[in-house]
A and B are shown apart, each in its own frame.
Chain A
Amino acid sequence: MGRYIGGRVVSMLVTFLIIASLTFFLMKLLPGTPFNNQEKMSESQIQQMNEKYGLNDPVPVQYVTYMTNLFKGDLGVSFQQDGRSVTTIIGERIGPSAYLGFQSLLIGTIFGLLLGIIAALKHNTFLDYGSMIIAVLGISIPSFVIAGMMQYWVGVKWGMLPVAYWEGFEYTIMPTIAIAAAVTATIARFMRTEMLEVLGQDYITTAKAKGLTSTAVVIKHTIRNASIPIITIMGPMVVALMTGTLVIEQIFVIPGLGEKFVSSIMTNDFPIIMGTTLFFSILFIVVILVVDVLYGIVDPRIRLAGGK
């Protein structure tokens, strides 16, 4: 296992370098300058600014400078916010995004699993149909619609929860529900399908034949085996949720990372684009590794290369 992880870490580093390089060159294709107020700047002002920030250098030179600084741990400073470093900006914004992401994931997973299991066990009953209707709605209604409706009805009309801002637990409830809806739906549908498949397996028949109670069969054999593929979809989901969602953050006025990422692209804030992209890719690469390792642990049938 140790050797396997060691090897994986090396290939992760390579992946990271490729992502960093590709992002850098793609970013250089973006039209326009990273400066605020470009519409009021004269040609010569733009030239002077480019000169100051090294944007007139040939792209390969800029690339080498960037990568050198990257290895020193220096991601640069934002163009849009005077002199503030990329690490500071990511640092102050990741908290709310990660918190909201984990909370939605937790809630979404719990409800998703429950709905999926109930639907499978009560296959072709109204409970099954009911669960699946919820799942289809959860997937097909966009989160901003759910968010907007909740904000208006629960927040304004009924006055039960704060409309927006990020100032305590009650402020997290509506955004969590808005994000968790899709998670619940995805996991419920997935779980139901897997459960149904597992229920048809020979080993379930065997277990029943052995005389196990149906509760034991469901808990020990069915749910456990059906959960394995869930881990696969959980990986990317963790990353996607933790890094924040633009729309939900805007609607509920949450100072998260998702909003910053999108706005940095709109404004050509190169250091922020690089910083957030690299941050997301590290998260992603690590999560994929964790998922693979978890596989080996949860399902003994899956052997990781090198581990015997």
Chain B
Amino acid sequence: MRKTKWTVFLSLILVLSIFLSACGGGGNNNAGEGGNEGGNAEGGEGKSEQVLNLLESAEIPSMDTTQATDATSFNAMNQIFEGLYRLDENNKPVLGMAADEPKEEEKDGETVYTFTIRDDANWSDGTPVTANDFIFAWKKAMNPDSLSQYASMFGTAGIKNANAIITEGDPLYGKVDELGVKAVDDKTLEITVTQKVPYFKSLLTFATFYPQPKDFVEKQGDKYALETDTMLYNGPFVMSEWNHGDGWTFEKNPEYWDNETVSLEKVTYKIVKDVATGVNLYETGKVDRAGLSADFVDQYKGNEDFVTRLEPTMFFLRLNQKNEALANTNIRKALYLAYDREGLVNVLLNNGSVAAKYFVPKEFAFGPNGKDFREFAPDGFLADKGAEEAKAAWEKGLQEIGKDSVDLEFLTTDTELASKIAEYAKEQFQTKLEGLNVTINKQPWKQFLELETAGDFDISTGGWGPDYPDPMTFLYMFETGADYNRMNYTSEKYDKLVSGAKKETDLEKRWKMMQDAEKVLIEEDFAIVPTYQRGTASLMKPYVKNYFLHPFGADTSLKWVKIEGK
């Protein structure tokens, strides 16, 4: 009897250990290989191994160009697909699938661009990229059934009928064949625009404007772009491995028309969510670039690998004018002036972020004269005013609303950084504005969005990154009744300037109107309190050359990257 019980116990252990060893077998294959990659390939003169190892903080949600909405997807797509143009080192659109600059023809107030697609533009299976592949992908995105969130980009580009096709109730709604694009023959693509926008070519570098291999996609059906073998590639790289939840690998695409320019043979991506882990992987040479959080910046500042980058992403506070106090311009002005942004960016963020008293970011949009949009007010509005003026405005405002104290709820998200920033803002406001009491309301992201959309807040934290390289991608947000105008701001003057700029064909005038609009938004109405323009700090190995970063669309281009002197 006794023996049987022990046998049961022992056999359980045995079963467990069999299970363990069975599991262990599978993962072992790459171990040896992985060990060599990061380490010492020194000595070889100029013949460095052309392998780049990178990190991403999230899984790729979608590789279907009509469905993607996030930075990770756009970034991956830019390496393995290509549109008519792609962004170069200076963020200028350079020819991609297009063989030449298009022929332009004006008639009846419309402009027709005729693009010729390269003869040597092929998909990775050797079949040619045709004009129909572009039209197929674009109409797929425009089709209301596909619910493509970026379908509005076709309208932004001024393409004929694009807005009507995605507007419910319009006679053209859903009629994708009415879109102003036409395949004249296999290699000739005509795009008709009803409004010429200055950033037209830049838009064509965006993922929604990529082609998709029509026959192949139709054959794959639901499975298209779910795995590496259900996609075809026309960019500098192909995706050779995709381990969902773990990472993915790109390899040089021999079918790419410009493959002579591409140096990298292989790029690996691993999904790493923990910043400290990323730094440790960097230190052991496993990865060539790692992002830093504020607590690591002090440790690495001054290190030769330390790099910062200013992104065109803006953070700001929405002041809800449904609140009686916040409906008062002087109260809003006081909040705008009381906030010390230097302390925020230098101490709390400490990552290359810049204090912002403006809403259209620096180093982002360049006007008809080639100058930065920000040049008309480089330091923002009322840059030299501070706590004293804030106090004056506050007292005036209180008088106007006939109160001596104000309670405001500050809605924010529950991440560590958001909490710190909220505490900072609360302290700034309460110490400088007497009689102000701020209560912080921290909510998980999804709940935060619900409350904000419903207008259920007094002050809320907002962030915005551009969808196309033009100030309008920021300024349209706060037109009266616009989707992102969640703070009940309404100004006829502002609306007139923004809608005017949308239609204006004189680029100089248009530029001026947008600058005036920003001035109204901030210096006259104090509709929002901009706080900072985001910077990011990273470590990057000095042997990684030509790693180009872009302010909109995909973050990076790996086409030109070289490993030198590793």
Contact = CB atoms under 8 A, between A and B. Distances in A.
- The answer to whether A binds B is yes
B11 to A, nearest CB: 12
A272 to B, nearest CB: 11
A129 B180 CA distance: 82
Nearest to B1: A300
A265 to B, nearest CB: 9
Interface of A: 30-33, 36-45, 48-49, 52, 80-84, 89, 92-93, 95-96, 98-99, 102-103, 106, 148, 151-152, 155-156, 159, 162-172, 220, 250-253, 255, 259-260, 266-268, 294, 297-298, 300
Contact of B277 (A89, A169, A253): A253
B147 A49 contact: yes
A297 B8 contact: yes
A163 B280 contact: yes
Contacts of B284: 155-156, 159, 162-163
A106 B27 contact: no
A268 B281 contact: no
Interface string B57-93: 0011111100101100000000000000000000000
B286 interface: yes
Nearest to B28: A168
A222 B35 CA distance: 48
B23 interface: yes
A168 B30 contact: yes
B244 A92 contact: yes
Interface in B139-179: 144, 147, 149, 168
Given A31-B446, A81-B62, A251-B277, 7 more contacts: A32-B445, A43-B483, A80-B59, A164-B272, A167-B27, A167-B31, A250-B274
A99 B24 contact: yes
A156 B67 contact: no
Interface of B: 1-2, 5, 8-9, 16-17, 19-20, 23-24, 26-31, 34-35, 59-64, 67, 69-70, 144, 147, 149, 168, 222-223, 225-226, 243-246, 270-274, 276-277, 280-281, 283-284, 286, 444-447, 449-450, 453, 467, 483
A37 B69 contact: yes
A79 to B, nearest CB: 9
A23 to B, nearest CB: 17
A165 B8 CA distance: 36
Given A84-B226, A165-B34, A253-B270, A260 B245 contact: yes
A52 B226 CA distance: 20
Contacts of A32: 445-447, 449-450
B272 A253 contact: yes
B280 A164 contact: yes
Contacts of B223: 83
B309 to A, nearest CB: 22
Contacts of A165: 34, 270, 286
Q: Which of A166, A172, A253 has the most B CB atoms < 10 Å from its CB? A: A253
Contact of A82 (B29, B67, B270): B67
B24 A268 contact: no
Contact of A48 (B31, B147, B245): B147
Contacts of A45: 147, 149
A52 B277 contact: no
A148 B245 CA distance: 22
A298 B446 contact: no
A259 B273 CA distance: 10
Nearest to A41: B149
Nearest to A170: B31
Given A38-B449, A165-B34, A250-B273, A102 B280 contact: no
Contact of A99 (B9, B23, B70, B149): B23
A145 to B, nearest CB: 12
B34 A253 contact: no
Contacts of B168: 44
A151 B30 CA distance: 20
A33 B449 CA distance: 9
A102 B20 contact: yes
A99 B168 CA distance: 52
16 contacts: A31-B444, A32-B447, A41-B149, A43-B453, A48-B144, A49-B147, A52-B147, A82-B62, A82-B63, A102-B20, A167-B34, A168-B29, A253-B270, A253-B271, A255-B243, A298-B5
Given A83-B222, A168-B31, A156 B280 contact: yes
Contacts of A43: 453, 483
B20 A156 contact: no
Nearest to B146: A52
Contacts of B449: 32, 38-39
Contact of A152 (B24, B67, B222, B280): B280
A169 B35 CA distance: 13
A137 B270 CA distance: 33
A81 B61 contact: yes
B137 to A, nearest CB: 15
Nearest to B64: A82
A109 B358 CA distance: 60
A82 B226 contact: yes
Nearest to B462: A39
Nearest to A220: B2
Nearest to A33: B446
